[in-house]
């Protein structure tokens, strides 16, 4: 921490970055009224930036439910930074996924794959479990999945565990990309060097703020860089050990309104 960070009695967040799934939304995809109230109270005072692995299409309903004022959201694990509610893309990072798709097919031939179609939905190699993806779903052949650069490649196997996918990520020997394993058997593959902090840097520059001004809350492996980047990074108590280790502090889990308690500490 810097001298002006949370270790200082004078520090207060000037912006908040919030992961969605597992931080705002519980396993039943609900946001408690207590948390909604806390977020709205904070958003009346400072910018609140949703920072998520979700696509813009899947992020928009959450921003609307929270009644966020006009602002910025970070989507697709930092690959897209978008002005809300207009949908204007402030920053976009893509990569050629063709070689990665070939590698995944070799090491995990039964795994499902998907790429985003911005503002529409997803192209997929097979149907994902209900509720996994939001928007229009179009099933295509592997060769047609990523004929142009994409913001992320999603790998999913409903028959595997998150531990299986940690091991899979190691076996894939991925180079030139970033990857994040979710709390289910879900692997997000992103452009090299891109994570949530990438989009947050863009957002904070737009807002005239610095990383030390940011309070960030998250629960997933894809939140590690964001928690380390922020002036104060707070992990949810039920996060994986490596996420907890990256945080400055730990909040109660989502079902105990941990994010609301942390936000209410400041607003």
φ and ψ at residue 155, rounded to 5 degrees: -115, 130
Q: Which domain holds residue 158?
A: 98-191
Last residue of a domain, one of 139, 164, 191: 191
Please state the domain count of the chain.
Answer: 2
Residue finishing a domain among 155, 175, 191: 191
DSSP class of residue 70?
A: S
Separation between Cα atoms, residue 133 and residue 127, nearest integer Å: 9
Phi/psi region, residue 265 (left: phi>0; alpha: psi -120 to 50; beta: rest), is alpha
The three-class DSSP label of residue 188 is strand
**Whether residue 157 is found in the same domain as residue 234:** no
Q: What is the pLDDT of residues 184-234, one digit of tens each?
A: 678 888 899 999 999 999 999 999 999 999 999 999 999 999 999 999 999
Instruction: Please tell me whether residues 174 and 235 are part of one structural domain.
Output: no
Q: What dihedral angle (degrees, nearest 10) is formed by the CA atoms of 126, 55, 218, 6?
A: 160
Query: Looking at residue 165, what is its pLDDT?
Result: 75
The Cα–Cα gap between 201 and 177 comes to: 19
Predicted pLDDT at 4: 44
Q: Could you give phi then psi for residue 140, rounded to 5 degrees? A: -135, 170
d(CA 138, CA 115): 10
Same domain, 142 and 172: yes
Using an 8 Å Cβ cutoff, are 72 and 83 in contact? yes
pLDDT at position 5 = 52
Residues of the chain above pLDDT 70, percent: 96
The mean pLDDT values, 10 residues at a time, for the chain of 267 residues are 55 98 93 98 98 93 98 96 97 93 88 92 93 91 94 87 77 76 79 95 98 97 96 97 97 97 98
What are the start-end ranges of the E strands in the chain?
15-18, 48-50, 71-75, 80-84, 89-92, 112-117, 121-124, 136-139, 153-156, 177-181, 186-191, 214-218, 232-236, 249-251
**Same domain for 83 and 55?**
yes
**For position 105, which CATH number holds?**
3.30.1240.10
Q: Within this chain, do residues 201 and 171 fall inside the same structural domain, yes or no?
A: no
Sign of CA dihedral 198, 229, 85, 187: positive
Residue 2 lies in a domain: no
Where b means 16+ CB within 10 Å and e means fewer, 160-169 reads: bebeebeebb
- The CATH number for 216's domain is 3.40.50.1000
Task: Give the whole-angstrom CA distance, residue 161 versus residue 103.
Answer: 20
pLDDT at 168: 79
- Burial degree of 199 (CB within 10 A; 0-12, 13-18, 19+): buried
pTM for the structure as a whole:
0.89
The answer to whether 267 and 41 are in contact (CB under 8 A) is yes
Number of CB atoms found within 10 A of residue 244's CB: 16
Largest Cα separation within the chain, whole Å, is 57
Identify whether the C-beta of residue 261 lies closer than 8 Å to the C-beta of residue 246: no
């Amino acid at each position: 921490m810097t001298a002006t960070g949370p270790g200082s009695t004078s520090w207060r967040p000037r912006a908040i970055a919030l992961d969605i799934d597992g931080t705002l939304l519980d396993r039943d995809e609900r946001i408690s009224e207590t948390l909604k109230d806390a977020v709205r109270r904070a958003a009346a005072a400072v910018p609140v930036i949703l920072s998520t692995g979700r696509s813009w299409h899947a992020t928009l309903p959450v921003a609307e439910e929270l009644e966020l004022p006009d602002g910025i959201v970070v989507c697709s694990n930092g690959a897209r930074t978008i002005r809300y509610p207009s949908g204007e893309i402030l920053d976009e990072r893509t990569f050629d996924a063709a070689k990665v798709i070939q590698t995944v097919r070799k090491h995990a031939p039964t795994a499902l794959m998907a790429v985003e179609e911005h503002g529409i939905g997803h192209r997929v190699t097979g149907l994902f479990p209900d509720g996994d993806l939001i928007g229009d779903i179009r099933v295509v052949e592997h060769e047609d999945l990523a004929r142009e650069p994409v913001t992320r490649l999603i790998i999913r196997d409903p028959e595997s565990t998150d531990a299986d996918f940690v091991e899979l990520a190691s076996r894939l020997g991925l180079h030139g990309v970033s990857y994040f394993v979710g709390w289910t058997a879900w692997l997000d593959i992103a452009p090299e060097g891109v994570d949530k902090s990438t989009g947050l840097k863009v957002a904070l520059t737009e807002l005239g703020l610095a990383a030390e001004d940011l309070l960030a809350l998250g629960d997933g492996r894809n939140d590690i860089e964001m928690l380390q980047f922020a002036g104060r990074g707070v992990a949810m108590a039920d996060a994986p050990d490596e996420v907890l280790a990256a945080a400055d502090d730990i909040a109660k889990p989502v079902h105990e309104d941990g994010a609301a308690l942390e936000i209410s500490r400041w607003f």
